[in-house]
Amino acid sequence: MALYITEECINCDVCEPECPNGALAQGENIYVVDPENCTECVGHFDTPQCVEVCPVNCITQDPAHLESREQLQAKFENMLGKEA
């Protein structure tokens, strides 16, 4: 499943550069996650890097975008194919 940033986000800017897929961006009030590009770092790292660096723990799994680890891996591989 893709990740979601809650209203507790303090716009500290540490998450965006950590995302290997470019799935994070500054929204109107807080950072937002593009679920089409979020693989929870599957294919790159063992854990989501944005979650690792978030100082306020405001990044959680998004129940609106349920995906298994296998689906996240397939999304990652599809993204690689688009880059080639």
- What CATH number is given to the structural domain containing 22? 3.30.70.20
Is 54 within 8 Å of 64 (Cβ atoms)?
no
* Cβ partners under 8 Å of residue 11, min gap 6: 26, 30, 31
The continuous run of DSSP H or E covering 25 comes out as strand 24-26
Give residue-wise pLDDT tens across range 35-68.
999 999 999 999 999 999 999 999 999 999 999 9
Considering only CA atoms, which of 5, 22, 21 is closest in space to residue 73?
A: 21
pLDDT above 70 for 23 = yes
pLDDT score at 83: 61
* Total domain count, the chain: 1
Range of the domain at 11: 3-83
For the record, the structure tokens of 54 come out as 């978030």
pLDDT score at 82: 72
